[in-house]
Amino acid sequence: MSSAAAAPAEVVAAPASTATSDRPARRYVPWLSWVRVVATIAVVACHVCTHLAWEWGKVSDREWHFGNLVTATSRFSVPIFVMASGAVLLQAGRNQSLRDFYARRASRLAIPLLAWSAFYIWFGRWTTGQDLAWSDFPRLLLLGQPYYHLYFLFVIFGLYLITPFLRIFVDAAPRRYLVTGTALIIAVTLFDKLHRVFSGLSLEPNAFSYFLPWIGYYLLGYVLLTMPMPASRRRVGWIAGVTFAVTLLANVIGTWVLYMAFANRYGLMLYHYQLLGPMIMAIAMVFLMRAIFGDGEPVDATRDRAATAASEKPKKRPVGLRLADLTLGIYLIHPIPVAFVREYQPRFSSPWSSIGYHSAGVVVVLLLCAAAAWLLLRVPYVRRLV
């Protein structure tokens, strides 16, 4: 699930005091690149291993606990992708017209969305042996379900639509109003999710409503980006790491208890992205990445041009930025090798061999998809797909 579908998530507008009237100064924010990288790894690990958590009673206890641990650990990933997009898009490009904003975002998102949707609708039918009908394309597109991972593109599409108007709110609202409004939206979304779980109402949105539960996370990304570090980076890093670990442990144990008590009826409840566990883990991961990699320094365009002219060699892009460039491609491609990892899964002689197979599968899928994304980015026109 990738903020790579949005603007480059590591480049944001500088504070207003350093911006010009026609074009805001910009700075590189290392942690925004690294959260994309970490979240992409988590998404792939989840999609390789999560079926073990769904197979309560069908796999050994060790396999189930392994699947539960991996799945619970990964639940911060999609919220962080959305937060990274909000951190960038709600601050950058304030002087864009509506037409320019929509034209630029549509050119970045429409091609991957339509091309990969068409491919995965065919791929889904091929892997399940079902016949493909032309009506499948408009029907699954309108449902926002061409394939299990592509819903994220519909989330980003919806958030794009309201971004110019959210920017007005972000610009005009005092800080306390912004924080309070964000908290209220997140709280309403949380209670709505709980109500739907316990009442048995459908949890499935469609192409037009996928983005609605994510507005709070989108605003939260901007709030966290513009929040000063509350203490030293070392201290914040320790607190964030411990918070993440404790919340993860609570989710792992809580899911185990729910499965023992209710099996599949409520067993998956704590995995929902809008509940407190994934939310706290996502916020903790943001502060952990900020503590490790920092907020970056303002970019001085004049100094950079002078340095470039003097050296006549372009400065190397940071490692985090180069890895982050691959994240959208990895996200879009990874279900293909994951399907084959599942299809050709052997019979295991012990739970440990199953755990080893799935762990190796995560590494192999990541490496294959990173290589494929790297190659596609170097092919003219094709690079627009990733």
Tens of pLDDT, residue by residue over 250-277, are 999 999 999 988 877 788 889 999 999 9
Q: Write down how long the chain is.
A: 386
Report in angstroms the alpha-carbon separations of 195 from 200, 201, 230, 274, 275.
Answer: 8, 8, 34, 12, 12
Confidence band, pLDDT 50/70/90 cuts, at residue 309: low
Handedness of CA 296, 301, 302, 304 (dihedral sign): positive
Three-state SS sequence of the chain: CCHHHCCCCCEEECCHHHCCCCCCCEEECHHHHHHHHHHHHHHHHHHHHHHHHHCCCCCCHHHHHHHHHHHHHHCCHHHHHHHHHHHHHCCCCCCCCHHHHHHHHHHHHHHHHHHHHHHHHHHHHHHHCCCCCCCHHHHHHHHCCCCCCCHHHHHHHHHHHHHHHHHHHHHHCCHHHHHHHHHHHHHHHHHHHHHHHHHCCCCCCCCCCCCHHHHHHHHHHHHHHCCCCCCCHHHHHHHHHHHHHHHHHHHHHHHHHHHHHHCCCCCCHHHCCCCHHHHHHHHHHHHHHHHHHCCCCECCHHHHHHHHHHHCCCCCCCHHHHHHCCHHHHHHHCHHHHHHHHHCCCCCCCHHHHHHHHHHHHHHHHHHHHHHHHHHCCCCCHHHHC
Higher pLDDT, 188 or 201: 188
Does residue 106 lie in a domain region?
Answer: yes
Residue 312 has pLDDT above 70, yes or no: no
Does residue 150 lie in a domain region?
Answer: yes
Report in angstroms the alpha-carbon separations of 222 from 13, 88, 154, 184.
Answer: 11, 7, 20, 15
Q: How far, in Å, CA of 327 to CA of 41, rounded? A: 9
Tens of pLDDT, residue by residue over 279-297, are 999 999 999 999 999 887 7
Are the beta carbons of 21 and 309 closer than 8 angstroms? no
Confidence band, pLDDT 50/70/90 cuts, at residue 132: confident
Q: Which whole number is the average pLDDT over 131-149? A: 89
Does residue 384 lie in a domain region?
Answer: no
Residue 128 has pLDDT above 70, yes or no: yes
The percentage of residues in the chain with a pLDDT greater than 90, rounded to a whole number, is: 61
Residue 162 CB-half CA count within 13 A: 18
Does residue 30 lie in a domain region?
Answer: yes
Residue 4 has pLDDT above 50, yes or no: no
Are the beta carbons of 90 and 167 closer than 8 angstroms? yes
Confidence band, pLDDT 50/70/90 cuts, at residue 6: very low
The pLDDT score that the predictor gives to residue 129 is 85
Confidence band, pLDDT 50/70/90 cuts, at residue 197: confident
The radius of gyration of the chain from alpha carbons, rounded to an integer in Å, stands at 21
One-letter amino acid identity for 159? L
Range scoring the smallest mean pLDDT among 2-11, 188-197, 309-318, 367-376: 2-11
Instruction: Tell me phi and psi for residue 78, to 5 degrees.
Output: -65, -45
What range defines the domain where residue 238 resides? 3-320
- Beta-ladder partners of 146: none
Tens of pLDDT, residue by residue over 25-60, are 446 889 999 999 999 999 999 999 999 998 888 899
The percentage of residues in the chain with a pLDDT greater than 70, rounded to a whole number, is: 87
Q: Which whole number is the average pLDDT over 172-196? A: 90
Record the tokens describing residue 343, joined without a space.
């299809």
Tens of pLDDT, residue by residue over 317-334, are 889 999 999 999 999 999
Are the beta carbons of 87 and 34 closer than 8 angstroms? no
**How many structural domains does the chain have?**
1
Does residue 329 lie in a domain region?
Answer: no
Does residue 325 lie in a domain region?
Answer: no
| CB-based burial label for 266 (10 Å; 0-12, 13-18, 19+) | middle
Higher pLDDT, 331 or 17: 331
Q: Which whole number is the average pLDDT over 89-118? A: 85
Does residue 167 lie in a domain region?
Answer: yes
Q: Which whole number is the average pLDDT over 94-103? A: 82
The pLDDT score that the predictor gives to residue 34 is 96
Q: What is the mean pLDDT of the chain?
A: 87
Does residue 121 lie in a domain region?
Answer: yes
One-letter amino acid identity for 330? I
The pLDDT score that the predictor gives to residue 56 is 87
